[in-house]
Amino acid sequence: MGSNQENITEQTTVVIIGAGVSGLTLATFLQKSGVACVVLERRDRAYIEMRQRAGVVDARGVRMFEQWDLADKLLFGLVAQTIDYRLNGAGRIFEIVGEDGSPSRFCTQQMLVGNLMKEFIDNMAGDVRFDIADVTIHNEEGQHPKITYSDANGSHALACDYIAGCDSDRGVSRASIPDGVLTKYSHEFGYAWLAALVEAPVTSHAIMGVSDYGCVAQLPRGPHRSRYYLQCALSDGPEDWSDQRIWDEIRLRLNDKTIQNALVHDKFFVPLRSVVYAPIQYRNLFLVGDAAHLVPPTSAKGMNLALYDVDILSQAILRAVQEDDTMGLESYSDTVLTHIWNYQDFAVWITDMMHDAGDPTQRGTFRQMIARARLDNLFDSETAAHLHSEYQRGMN
């Protein structure tokens, strides 16, 4: 399309902004159902296929892909996800399964996104426009929405019925909603996590450990890589954390002197926060995934919450387009937010417990003793372990 065509407005049913995990999943479901859609992405394909993030698709997400007959194409490795909670080196392993006992699947976000690209673009001839800029949403009352954007060939316009804002926390979708429409609910935990991607063989389970030195987590990220997370101060930066210090702290916090140093591929710092926006729809624009809500990485669920949103939104769009029934779209925000608040409850509970039980400088020794009592209960009592499972199952 050349710049001489900038006055031509193309037509589609759904414009999806963002080709991350939620945008590509939604696009694949719509395309498979015969609903026309265009995905607009500011990065190039190679960059997106390299982006390292989540590691596990939960039981609910697995069922969703199975229902679309896509699980075998998109997800690899069938494993029941287990998580090993430790206090000063000792603890208990929990199995995390769906309410019907169905397992989650080990599949990194990177693998899932790569497979979605192959399915949507290469197999289904889906339309993703990479490297675009200046996305602007025109979503006026009583008018058909329109998206304008530019690329190397000039500026373009796309008219559509619905817009899916899958462009994460800093995208243009949420920012296009006028002031005063959305309420932002947020909670800052007061500390950060250093995230370090290391060359270390995965264990059969994820680990969440806490000791007097602070909290540490280890999550599988492919056959030979793990992501370690280490609680640190909000003000910490790379100069405070040499590779040697990372390994020393991992050994201390897991109370395991046998862990060997390995190559650290990258490290960055993530402040721990929970955020929910409400409502997550405005006229014909629907916010999805990180554009609508953030959970702290402690809960390892951001990608799975994004997949939940896609499940609800794709069904609602199909009902609207194929049956002229917009009820699902009208209740999209309420349906998703009920699920999100339940999950935020779990995320705050687990994050507080795992951090308070360690270094008491953040919230004091009283909170530390309460958190340790909770962890002991979790390890010792079937009731508390059951409560944990119920929390998890409620999310499935």
Chain position whose Cβ is nearest to ligand RFL: 20
Residue of 202, 126, 158, 163 whose CA lies nearest to 18: 163
Q: Return d(Cα 117, Cα 290) in angstroms, integer.
A: 20
Q: Give the CB-side neighbour count of residue 289, counting CA atoms within 13 A.
A: 27
Among 98, 171, 214, 296, which residue interacts with ligand RFL (rule: CB under 6 A)? 171
Handedness of CA 165, 171, 173, 175 (dihedral sign): positive
156 binds ligand RFL (CB under 6 A): no
3-state class of 16 per DSSP? Answer: strand
126 binds ligand RFL (CB under 6 A): no
Site for ligand RFL in 38-97 (CB under 6 A): 40-43, 48, 53-55
Among 19, 27, 198, 340, which residue interacts with ligand RFL (rule: CB under 6 A)? 19
167 binds ligand RFL (CB under 6 A): yes
- The residue (of 42 and 86) whose beta carbon lies closer to ligand RFL is 42
Q: Return d(Cα 150, Cα 24) in angstroms, integer.
A: 21
Q: Return d(Cα 152, Cα 133) in angstroms, integer.
A: 9
**Amino acid letter, residue 284:** N
301 binds ligand RFL (CB under 6 A): yes
Among 14, 22, 117, 147, which residue interacts with ligand RFL (rule: CB under 6 A)? 22
129 binds ligand RFL (CB under 6 A): no
303 binds ligand RFL (CB under 6 A): yes
Among 15, 35, 74, 172, which residue interacts with ligand RFL (rule: CB under 6 A)? 172
Q: Are 356 and 370 in contact (CB under 8 A)?
A: yes
194 binds ligand RFL (CB under 6 A): no
Among 108, 109, 139, 392, which residue interacts with ligand RFL (rule: CB under 6 A)? 109
Interface residue list for ligand RFL (CB under 6 A): 17-23, 40-43, 48, 53-55, 109, 135, 166-168, 171-172, 195, 219, 270, 289-291, 297, 300-304, 306
